[in-house]
Amino acid sequence: MELAREEREEFAELLAGLSPQQWESPSLCERWRVRDVVAHVISYDELDFRSLAARFAKGWFLQDRVNELGVADLAGRTPEQLLELMRIHAEPSGLPAGFGGRIALVDGMIHQQDIRRPLAIPRTIPPRRLRVALDFARFAPLIRGAWRARGVKLVATDLDWSYGRGPQVSGSGEALLMAMAGRRDVLGDLTGPGRSKFAAHIGA
């Protein structure tokens, strides 16, 4: 939970520095602008079990439809209001607090990069935070990083982390995390004999 809070606080710092045009810019998430990504990240925190079940039922238990409903619920909020919600929910609650805050940590880290990469706003993710995210992303049900990495060995070049067996795929921990999350845009940051196999599993 401490790491998840740190990630959301850093996310809020990023958002506070964005221009109105940047809030409307495309993200790495298909069809989502920056403001839509932010709405998604905080769209589950205020839902109790009954409200969460109702949203899943309304979305026919399909991940993309359920997520779109959450974004739609916050569509009328201004960037300032979305930023305030991110600050209010720096300490994750509800579904994002699951697995000791790991859901919020990984979701927040991936989506922060979904914003930073298109806007060319780099950062250095603290190694401890990144390592926990990489470990959880392997088996998180909605990410399925281990499934995408089947048959290859992922090796981070900027921290002591590796996973899997087979031909090697090397890159920064951040690039490996984003690739495990299915972001085809980061494949250019990866190298090694297992890259083409890994890319095929991502759908590139």
| Residue 92: pLDDT band with limits 50, 70, 90 | very high
Percent with pLDDT over 70 in the chain: 100
Calpha distance 127→89 (Å, rounded):
23
When pLDDT is averaged across residues 156-167 and rounded to a whole number, the result is 97
When pLDDT is averaged across residues 171-189 and rounded to a whole number, the result is 97
pLDDT tens per residue, range 71-90: 999 999 999 999 999 999 99
pLDDT tens per residue, range 47-74: 888 888 998 898 888 878 888 998 999 9
Q: Is the pLDDT of residue 38 over 90?
A: yes
Rounded to the nearest integer, the mean pLDDT of the chain is 95
Of 173, 195, 185, nearest to 114 by C-alpha is: 185
Q: Is the pLDDT of residue 111 over 70?
A: yes
Calpha distance 114→109 (Å, rounded):
9
Q: Is the pLDDT of residue 204 over 80?
A: no
The reported pLDDT for the residue numbered 82 is: 97
Q: Which two tokens stand for residue 112?
A: 């922060």
Q: Is the pLDDT of residue 94 over 90?
A: yes
Sequence-distant (≥ 6) Cβ neighbours of residue 96 within 8 angstroms: 4, 44, 45, 103, 104, 107
Q: Is the pLDDT of residue 199 over 80?
A: yes
